[in-house]
Amino acid sequence: MRLTAVGTSGSFPGPGSAASCYLLSWHAEGRDWQVALDLGSGALGALQAHVDPADLDAVVLSHLHPDHCLDMTGLYVHRVYDPRTFCGSGDSGEAAPVPGARSDAGTQPLAAVPQPPAPLPVWGPGGTEERIARAYHTEPGLSPDAETAHATDLRAAFDFRTLTDRAPFELGGARFEPFLVRHPVECYALRVTTPDGGVVVYSGDTDECDGLDAASAAADVLLCEAAFEEDRDTVRGVHLTGLRAGRTAQRAGVARLVLTHIPPWTREHIVRTEAESAYPGPIDVAAPGATWDIPNGRNPL
């Protein structure tokens, strides 16, 4: 399995990165699989450098803050209105042709109506569908075409499924297990075990907690947020610092720590130095486009 950093900025997009988004890619069951972890502000554009959004097999949302989920609204537009699959009428207002119908000459069949893709599985905390619908829907207000407005139904594009603490699910032979972590809104760390037994863990947004420790146990790669600086940010229960990310990695016995979700106002060299003071293993700071291959077999299913 390969982990690709798509958006690594914390809290909002930075000058060189979209907000949180990571791509997991692997081959199993005779085909390639592509799953996005989070799709924050600005991430859909960056994601297209790595995968056609139409080829995603699922999206898993750690929580519902905008920097982790807001570009789901753009993904909805992509899945519903992509001309390759759009089934609406043309600009003339005429209905799209029926598959197998004949032209006026009766000699050549018209092109078949494109078929929309099946709804994309989307895992997230309770209320995910309502949250994304609120973000997408706009009341018509004083529009002269207000009578054409309609309610937003995301189910044409997405199959919403609810994450539950420590209730695993499988995709393409990989096991995904959510762990409730410490954040002001419902948020999950995600432990992903590859079909070959490797483990990658994504912290989501959290402070130090038992849930993150349990999720991270003996992981090959811990992709861990480090939004705060230890001596500057004194609030607790919201984000990790580099020091607390390093302590988590050390307690959990992970093989590699990758620091991410670093806002533009947080200094990378500070959080890295903090992490190095607590964790002696290899440390990376995530950047858009960086990749990590998850080793096989260190943590068998």
Per-residue pLDDT tens over the stretch 226-285:
999 999 999 999 999 999 999 999 999 999 999 999 999 999 999 999 999 999 999 999
Partners of 243 in the β-ladder: none
What does the H/E/C string look like for 158-226?
A: EEEEECCCCCCEEECCEEEEEEECECCCCCEEEEEECCCCCEEEECCCCECCHHHHHHHCCCCEEEEEC
Tell me how far apart the alpha carbons of residues 245 and 188 are, in angstroms, rounded to a whole number: 16
Is the pLDDT reported for residue 298 higher than 60? no
Whole-prediction pTM: 0.90
Q: φ, ψ for residue 65 (rounded to 5)?
A: -70, 150
Q: Which of 21-30, 93-102, 123-132, 192-201 has the lowest mean pLDDT?
A: 93-102
Amino acid 163: pLDDT: 98
pLDDT band at residue 151 using 50, 70 and 90 as cut-offs: confident
Domain 2-89+117-139+153-293 has CATH 3.90.1640.10: no
Q: Could you give the CA distance from residue 126 to residue 63 in angstroms, rounded to a whole number?
A: 9
Counting residues of the chain whose pLDDT is more than 90, the rounded percentage is: 85
Residue 161: the pLDDT is 98
Of the pLDDT bands very low, low, confident and very high (cuts 50, 70, 90), residue 112 is: low
Buried/exposed 60-78: b ≥16 CB within 10 Å, e otherwise = bbbbbbebbbbbbbbbbeb
Token output for 156: 């044409």
The pLDDT, as a whole number, for residue 108 is: 53
- Confidence bin at 300 (pLDDT 50/70/90): very low
pLDDT bin (cut points 50, 70, 90) of residue 102 is very low
CA distance 247 to 277: 9
Roughly what angle, to the nearest 10 degrees, separates helices 128-136 and 72-81?
A: 80
Confidence grade of residue 93 (pLDDT, cut at 50, 70, 90): very low
Provide the β-strand partners of residue 4. Answer: 23, 291
- pLDDT number for residue 301: 32
The partner residues of 14 in beta bridges, in order of sequence, read 17
Q: Give the model's confidence band at 98: pLDDT under 50 very low, under 70 low, under 90 confident, else very high.
A: very low
Task: Identify the band that residue 114 occupies on the pLDDT scale cut at 50, 70 and 90.
Answer: low
Residue 90 has pLDDT above 90, yes or no: no
Distance CA 168, CA 181 (A): 16
**Mean pLDDT lowest for which of 83-97, 133-147, 152-166, 257-271?**
83-97
pLDDT at 115: 73
Mean pLDDT confidence for 159-188: 98
